[in-house]
Amino acid sequence: MPDTLPFATRFGSNAGQPVSRRDGVAKVTGTATFAADNHPEGMLHAVYVPATIARGRVTHLDVAAARAHPGVVEVITPANRPLLEGDPEAKHFMFAFRFEALQDDTVRYANQPIALVLAETLEAATEGARLLDPRYEAESPRVGLDGNTPYTVEVGAFGRRGQTVHGDVAAGHAAAVQSLDVTYETPAQYHNAMETHAVVAQWQGDQVTLDMPNQAIVMSRGAYGYYFGIPAENVLIRSPYLGGGFGSKAIPNGPTVLAILAARMTGRPVKLMLRRDQMFGPVGHRGATRQRLRIGIDAEGRMTVLDHESLATTSTFDDFVESAANASQGLYAAGALRSAHSGVRVDTGTPGPMRAPGEASGSAALECAMDEMAERAGLDPLEFRLRNYAETEPGTGLPYSSKALRECYLRGAERFGWAKRPLQPRQMRDEDGMLVGWGMGTALFHAPMFQAQARAVLRPDGTGLVETAAADMGQGAWTALAQIAADSLGLPLDKVEFRSGSSDLPDGGVAGGSGHTATAGGALHAAGRDAIDRLAQIATADPASPLFGAGNKGVTARDGRLFVTDDDSRSESYAEIIARAGGSEVIGTGSAARPPEQAAKHAMYSHGAVFAEVKVDPDLYQMRVTRLVGAFAAGRIINPKLAESQLMGGMIWGISFALHEEARFDARTGRIMNADFAGYHIPVNADVSGLEVITVHEDDPHVNALGIKGVGEIGIVGTVGAIGNAIWHATGHRIRRFPIRIEDLLRAERG
């Protein structure tokens, strides 16, 4: 079975089919067990007490009143908190963030944990937390992009360089016949998955079982082992279902560690589930940015320079700076490129990865700036992008592993009707007199691959079992990974059992960065191939088998049978081969990782183009996105139904970013004023209409053995800018701050 043959030719046709989610029925009928659905005998309920100031120290907690409340079992404060073996201020492993676990009475941001109350019921724990009645010695909070002195970022998020320069930037500015210098701002945004963070912790001696939503199941074992001074294998994390993650559920946080500590302290199981308002603080967010873009073009409309600077908020005690300016690397050809980042320390929880970190914020500014430059050049926005199309990765000159962006532009524009778009703004109205505008944006997101392991078993009855500690946070991993595994075993999907979501299984890697399907899928594919190879060795060495003498490489697997390649008359079922060999199951193992030398040879990205239509009331300036067409090229699509769902979800988040989502801070207290779903706006069904996704096929022999990229995040990228550009095209007003609000347009209209 040589690697040069297409995967589907080798193993069948489960992959590529629009299979419905295997976990869908369990979720819609309520039988899926999420973390907080676990209720072990003797369980205590935990409620953490959030700080109501953003900077200062706690001077008083009425512990006696809280402990006196009926049902309250324990109150944990800095005065009695047991020691942790690992330092919560240290960063000893990947994805380690400094966090608050009642080290002292210092308050570093609003909603920081300052105490934990344990009780027999949730109601008693909640009332005990209220009775603590904290008092503070408060200091003036530092809030927003102007709240502190900026500093230069040397190393940004995920180890990315703080500054990247290709070519002579000064010469590029000097050579420009037309230039643009604009600044865009994006707000702080907070994770608000349907399932808030939760944990049910149970200790047995020096072993702990954690039921929790987790995007990095095996990796997290080591983290919790570090904090509690036990071997990683003594930590069992069970995470079969996640109600959304978006980056925040791969990282240990203070409330979770405190709940685990409380379970050890009391000798009883402990459950903690964050309230919605408590999501605004200790579990990460997308930092606010202020981005300056300077673009120069020559007489032909080709860029001589693309100079992108970003200032982003981070916490006072850790470093995670949104790498927004990196959105300008890898996309458009320019004579010179520069991306530079700086940070400003403010009194908030530390930002962290949030769906399309860096690219979501950066592309919002970049794609709007590209339209502004196209307008100055007198060019259609699509034509301007095509004139600056990069055939190789800008700056590095590396060839793309695959790039079907031209086809994305073509198919998206054709489906949308872009050719009918007037160049000047405020030229279109609908039958009701609403202003109509059309905008577009280009999407780019890297195609990573991490490390993973898997196990595949062929059972005596001819069915299969595959295992890997993957994480399904809503993207459909249970289904897509099972499709890959079934093909690798040459079995129908309904003949394969898929086990996942537990840290005692082989490491499925991190569900994040749009790399999970490629990573865990690659390991499953390798494990399945190994099992088939082992079965083929048994059959071809057995004189009683029709496959005898064919040789391991001369055998093909499909539909639960092994066939001699190019001779379907010679075949035998898996069950027959195993029975004659003694009836023992056949076990294969596999791993996946991208060799560093392969990564150094090609630039690996998913690409796309998003076209947006908005309608704006000419009197009230209410805005509505009425159509979105996104065309995306993301390698080989394992499940078109799930991929379309993910891309749509990303585009809907783009609507949220462009028009709805923003954390508003009180400058006096540093508290977030809209820390709930009433004030923190996200789109609902009524905000979304006319959504269409086109997937453009790509064969990518370089990105990984399966040709898979990722679709989880690229849907956001490009969508925000497309909507911003459409609003300009409808109204003639360029708003350079997201989310775009009615008052922004009214203010612009009044001049």
- Calculate ∠ Cα 247-249-685, nearest 5°: 65
Return d(Cα 217, Cα 472) in angstroms, integer. 11
Which residue numbers in the chain have pLDDT < 50? Answer: 1-11
Return d(Cα 311, Cα 617) in angstroms, integer. 34
User: Cβ neighbours of residue 20 under 8 Å, at least 6 residues apart?
Assistant: 479, 641
Catalytic hit among 195, 613, 698, 713: 713
Summarize pLDDT for 25-75 with one digit per residue, the tens.
Answer: 999 999 999 999 999 999 999 999 999 999 999 999 999 999 999 999 999
The pLDDT value given to residue 10: 44
The pLDDT value given to residue 323: 96
> What are the structural domains of the chain?
7-32+450-593 (3.30.365.10), 381-448+600-750 (3.30.365.10)
Return the closest-CA partner of residue 439 out of 738, 734, 183, 750.
Answer: 734
- Residue 494 carries which side chain, given as an amino acid letter? D
Return d(Cα 740, Cα 751) in angstroms, integer. 17
300 has catalytic annotation: no
Q: Tell me the H-state helices in 402-502.
A: 405-416, 477-489
From residue 183, alpha-carbon distances to 29, 45, 310, 426, 665 in Å are 48, 48, 9, 23, 21
- Residue 206 carries which side chain, given as an amino acid letter? D
The pLDDT value given to residue 7: 35
* Radius of gyration of the chain, Cα coordinates, nearest whole angstrom: 27
- Report how far apart the first and last C-alpha atoms of the chain are (Å, whole number): 69
The pLDDT value given to residue 72: 98
Residue pair 511/215 in contact by the 8 Å Cβ criterion:
yes
Residue pair 315/109 in contact by the 8 Å Cβ criterion:
yes
Return the closest-CA partner of residue 725 out of 374, 380, 441, 377.
Answer: 441
Q: Between helices 719-731 and 640-659, what is the axis angle to 10°?
A: 50
- What are the backbone dihedrals phi and psi of residue 678, each rounded to the nearest 5 degrees, phi first? -75, -40
From residue 530, alpha-carbon distances to 13, 450, 478, 744 in Å are 19, 20, 21, 60
The sign of the CA dihedral 391, 394, 400, 406 is negative
The pLDDT value given to residue 158: 80
Q: How many CB atoms lie within 10 A of CB 391?
A: 10
The pLDDT value given to residue 2: 32
The pLDDT value given to residue 12: 56
Summarize pLDDT for 263-310 with one digit per residue, the tens.
Answer: 999 999 999 999 999 999 999 999 999 999 999 999 999 999 999 999
From residue 302, alpha-carbon distances to 166, 177, 335, 378, 390 in Å are 17, 10, 9, 13, 11
User: Cβ neighbours of residue 452 under 8 Å, at least 6 residues apart?
Assistant: 468, 470, 506, 507, 508, 509, 519, 520, 522, 523, 591, 592, 593
From residue 599, alpha-carbon distances to 595, 607, 704, 712, 728 in Å are 7, 18, 10, 21, 40
